[in-house]
Structure 1
Amino acid sequence: MVQNTLQFGGSVIDEPYVHLTNFLEICDTFKIQGVSDDAIHLRLFPFSLRDKAKAWLTNLPAGSIITWDDLAKAFLTKYFPPSKSMKLRADITTFSQGEQEMFYEAWERYKDLLRRCPHHQLPDGLVVQTFYYGLSHSNRTMLDAAAGGNLLRKSSEDGYELIEEMATSSYHPQSERSAARKSIGIHQVDAFTSVAAQLQVMNKRIEELSVDHSAMRVQEVWF
């Protein structure tokens, strides 16, 4: 029963960091009185592996693994060698939006690259900048308009938040997008999506300003 619970989907070799993250999330859902988290992790981790990965763990020299950190490091060294890290970092730094890729699709794909390589060591500002320059001209213009100027003049945190807002606002299910493209064409759909997303963000900004203005008027009355 434990084995079925811990053998989540995905390839251990392809995404070792994701495997560890999922494993720890599952382990965090239960505690055993008098048993440390380290002991639980060490005892259950073999059940999360299968095939060659499980054989690798079984064949480790006796006494080479004492703590959970030892096991996690050995696992990542085996399945996340430097060459793989370099490849994933290159995928991040050379990111480019696909010709027919919607804005929210590009953002989700970019975040997935970051998730698969959490040790990319790129500063937050460079993460936002890389995504921005990887976008099409029309989408960069859309972001700049929503930012009230060049997006990169904002702080990395504000820039990331705005991109997230725009991606959420421009999201449309695949079925809806396909139907719309058949009737009016891909370029018109992309333009409409960009404008709609921009208007939603601008409306949100106006509402926030209205609330702030109302608060100031109340202060004037009472003080």
Structure 2
Amino acid sequence: MEKGQNLTINGSGNYPGGRYDKVSIRGEGTIESNVECSTFHIYGTSEALENVKAGSVKVIGETVVMGKMESGDMLVMGTLSIAGESALKKIKILGTLEVGERLSGETANIKGSISVGGDVEYERFDLSGGFEIKGLLNADTINIALRFGNSSAEEIGGGKITIKRKTSLLPFVKDEGSLVVKVIEGDEVFLENTTADIVRGKLVKVGSGCQIGRVEYSTDFIQDKHSTVKMSEKI
């Protein structure tokens, strides 16, 4: 396929990969090999059997990528599942993102949920919802509002790390989100509703709802009376 052609699927069927200008699926489509395009817009259901590389991605329905994925701007209002490593430069997730291996990029704005089988690395990571990260979450700035469920990560590292509980606006939803992580390490660390083995930082503030094994700090340490810290040490 020569770049400049469009792939538009309004019904259902299997289509070859290749180089396209725009890919638009409004029905149910399967792309059988590697695809590279300027825009990748899914309004129905799609499956890419190999790798996807796109400038702009929009998923309103449900998309499965069986290989790796690389993109510039991405908006997900439905569900996007990627089996392999993913380099997604700027993401806005209003639904669900699942990545089987490592996830990296520049800015992440998530108001839904993500599940990642490896490390996550961004310059700025903002999340209001829930997450499961099997490896390290690393970003210069991390802002997490635990809105629902039990979130988890192996480790969290960065410059300024803020993890807060976020109560639901719905009167019949009483649950708050919580986080379980082995190690948190940053320059400035503020925590709520967090269970961690070790927290390290220059300034560490442990707010309400926390269970911390050990805090190591170099400048200042503040602890809420409704949290438990087994051991703290200025280093």
TM range (shorter): under 0.3
More strand per residue: 2
TM-score by length of 1: 0.24
Larger radius of gyration: 1
TM-score by length of 2: 0.23
